[in-house]
Amino acid sequence: MQVNFSAQSMGELNRLPIDRQMELLGELATLGVGQFYGVGGEERFGRVQRGPKTFYRVRIGDLRFYLEFSSDGIFCSHILPEHSFKDFCFRCGFSSPDDSSVEKDGALWQFLENGERMEDVASNEPR
């Protein structure tokens, strides 16, 4: 089965050492069509619906691969680190801003500061 990659997923792969890239590509190459339709590997694949598209979420090590299946093969649209904000946003259907815009947005810092203040208040209350 042929595997194609988006610019985002190629960028993520290129950041990894060559031996890790080969390991991941080997894992992707062994995926069978039946696995996408629930014939096997149900615990390994999640489904994410984004508009008219269905993405299959595959866990390989500490990365999450979002794949589309077609008669031409597999298209890997995203590779995201596990437990990351971007992975959470993608799974939940939220738009995910890039990290620099999140850092510049005062709402994030205000949210974090308010959370710290709430913890301080709670820790000072008599029990």
Q: Are 58 and 45 in contact (CB under 8 A)?
A: yes
3-96 CATH choice from 3.30.2310.20, 3.40.30.10, 3.30.590.20, 3.40.50.720? 3.30.2310.20
Measured between alpha carbons, how far is residue 43 from residues 23, 57, 68, 76 in Å?
21, 11, 18, 19
Nearest C-alpha neighbor of 35 from the set 46, 23, 25, 26: 46
Q: Which two tokens stand for residue 72?
A: 């031409």
Q: Residue 63: exposed, middle, or buried by beta-carbon count in 10 A (0-12, 13-18, 19+)?
A: buried
Measured distance between the N- and C-terminal CA atoms of the chain, rounded to whole angstroms = 62
Angle at alpha carbon of residue 65, lines to 60 and 66, rounded to 5°: 150
Residue type, 40: G
Q: pLDDT tens digits, the chain, 127 residues: what are they?
A: 678 899 999 999 999 999 999 998 888 877 765 665 555 545 557 788 888 888 888 888 889 898 888 777 788 998 988 877 777 777 777 665 555 555 555 665 666 677 666 555 455 555 5
**C-alpha span between 22 and 80 (Å, rounded):** 17
